[in-house]
Amino acid sequence: MAMEKSYVVPDTHTRSITAIGYNPGRREILLGCEDGVVKTWEAESGKMVMASHEHKGWVTDFLYWNDAKLMLSSANDGDLIAWSSGGGVADKISIGMPVYCMAINPRRKHLVCGVNGGIRVYALDEKKDSGQVIDNRVLFIAPEHTDIVRCIVCHESRIYSAGYDQQLVIYDSSYTGDNSLQPIFQYDQQLVIYDSSYTGDNSLQPIFQNKNAHDAGISCLLLAKDNENNTWILTGSFDKTVKIWSVDGKPIHKLDNFLSTVSGICYVPRNKTVWVAGGTSYASLFDPKSGDNVSDFIGTFQTQEEEKYHLQIMKYFGELNSVVASSSRRHLIVWKYNSSGCITALKCKIPLESLCYTRKVPILIFSGDNDGVITKWERMQSNHFMYR
């Protein structure tokens, strides 16, 4: 039950990688670059398929629209491109301003876009009643952010956004149609909760707003959910920290001691770990429930030689059971889930001669080394990986 390195594609492009996506219809990994180039690789083999140069600016995000079987890409050139199942351009929609991130609200059939200074919501138009697959007329505007909105997540009836202004904002998309909106709680201009999320005009109102969620701009936002129905919101920042929040925006854990800006976060539900890229060639692994750093007890990166590159963007794609990452050397790196792999790895300073364990819970492990020392290992209560 481990993630093991599958393959590395070195030097994928001459310019930096700025976005990673996955097209389940074609089983291809997509890389977007700062010069507008989009390249695709076969997910299983790592073989390059094609390269396109339809964007005129930095590619910022990819999003798969499952209902229409279209891959969407955004860039700071102000265009959204819908890629067909054949790999060609199905439609190009001019938004008129840079789009830095995208998410689909499936309940409302809306495309939610992060822009400079807020969020804009557009109607998905699969039948092209407006002439294009996305109607470029703005449905709703959320102006709470004061800088670039770099991350958006839609979950059930809520929209989560975070950006370079240090803010974490939660919106409720289950509109009531009321023409008035009054705050029911406000504290020191940091947290505002409203009893309705729609004012009857073209604005989207927050139910939660933390103006100082981090000490610097927020670079990553992720929703993680395990098989026990625990759900968390995770944010990574230029302040070199990761914070874990409840779905209502309450702080749970703070993870720090990263060497650089947190450039990538992903959650691997197979072994219930959070991967964080923060200035090293390897990911730091955490248990989101306890906040414990479990990197030393998972073998994925234990035997890796120190590399000169740093991990940057990092995403988990459930259809592939894989983590896909880019590096500062423009490498494409893929780790794949192995159901027969190592669950927990315990480091020993002296070569072992024998092992045994108890069959009843709590499971104890006894190891004997060639110095004649017997060590008892007992699993800690906080998570399934750490032993003492």
What digits encode the pLDDT tens for the residues 159-209? 999 999 999 999 998 754 443 333 334 444 444 443 334 444 566 789 999
Match 């364990």 to its residue by tokens: 357
Rg (CA), the chain: 22
Q: Where are the alpha helices (DSSP H) in 275-375?
A: none
Please choose, from the candidates 293, 255, 322, 284, the residue with its C-alpha nearest in 3D space to the C-alpha of residue 385. 293
Q: Where are the alpha helices (DSSP H) in the chain?
A: none
φ and ψ at residue 369, rounded to 5 degrees: -100, 175
Look at 53-67, 167-181, 283-297 and tell me which has the smallest mean pLDDT: 167-181
Indicate the pTM of the whole model. 0.86
Q: Quick: pLDDT tens for 264-276.
A: 999 999 889 999 9
Tokens at 292, concatenated: 């414990």
| Residue 238 clears pLDDT 50, i.e. is over it | yes
51 and 149 part of one domain = yes
The span from the CA of 100 to the CA of 313, in Å, is 14
| Greatest extent of the chain over all pairs of C-alpha atoms, in Å | 78
296 and 387 part of one domain = no
305 and 382 part of one domain = no
| Residue 157 clears pLDDT 80, i.e. is over it | yes
Please choose, from the candidates 55, 2, 4, 17, the residue with its C-alpha nearest in 3D space to the C-alpha of residue 332. 17
The span from the CA of 232 to the CA of 274, in Å, is 11
202 and 291 part of one domain = yes
327 and 353 part of one domain = no
Q: Quick: pLDDT tens for 123-150.
A: 999 999 999 999 999 999 999 999 999 9
Collapsing DSSP to helix, strand or coil, 67 comes out as coil
| pLDDT for the residue 342 | 67
| pLDDT for the residue 271 | 86
More confident site: 361 or 54: 54
Please choose, from the candidates 241, 189, 251, 195, the residue with its C-alpha nearest in 3D space to the C-alpha of residue 215. 241
Q: What is the DSSP letter of 371?
A: T
Most confident segment among 29-38, 180-189, 279-288, 359-368: 29-38
Task: Give residue 354's domain range.
Answer: 346-388
List own/partner pairs for 225-234 with CB under 8 A and 24 or more apart: 225/267, 225/269, 226/269, 226/272, 226/288, 226/289, 227/269, 230/288, 230/289, 231/155, 232/288, 233/153, 233/160, 233/168, 234/265, 234/267, 234/274, 234/288
| pLDDT for the residue 204 | 79
Burial annotation 170-181 (CB, 10 A radius, 16+ → b, else e) = bbbbebeeeeeb
Please choose, from the candidates 140, 137, 134, 104, the residue with its C-alpha nearest in 3D space to the C-alpha of residue 119. 140
320 and 377 part of one domain = no
333 and 373 part of one domain = no
Q: How many structural domains compose the chain? A: 2
319 and 359 part of one domain = no
| Residue 374 clears pLDDT 60, i.e. is over it | yes
361 and 328 part of one domain = no
357 and 249 part of one domain = no
262 and 321 part of one domain = yes
The span from the CA of 70 to the CA of 86, in Å, is 10
| pLDDT for the residue 383 | 62
Match 């450039």 to its residue by tokens: 263
CATH of residue 238's domain is 2.130.10.10
Average pLDDT (112-130) is 96
The span from the CA of 318 to the CA of 267, in Å, is 10
Q: How many helical (H) and strand (E) elements, i.e. helices and strands, does the chain have?
A: 0, 32
Q: What is the DSSP letter of 198?
A: B
Match 């650089």 to its residue by tokens: 260
More confident site: 347 or 211: 211
Average pLDDT (44-50) is 95
Collapsing DSSP to helix, strand or coil, 307 comes out as coil
Collapsing DSSP to helix, strand or coil, 386 comes out as coil
Q: Are 271 and 343 in contact (CB under 8 A)?
A: yes
| pLDDT for the residue 332 | 97
- In the beta sheet, which residues pair with residue 243? 235, 254
230 and 360 part of one domain = no
More confident site: 118 or 360: 118
| pLDDT for the residue 367 | 82
The span from the CA of 163 to the CA of 220, in Å, is 8
Tokens at 199, concatenated: 């004012």
Dihedral, CA of residue 120, residue 121, residue 127 and residue 130, to nearest 10 = -50
| Residue 22 clears pLDDT 60, i.e. is over it | yes
Look at 143-147, 207-211, 220-224, 375-379 and tell me which has the smallest mean pLDDT: 375-379
| pLDDT for the residue 275 | 97
| pLDDT for the residue 304 | 59
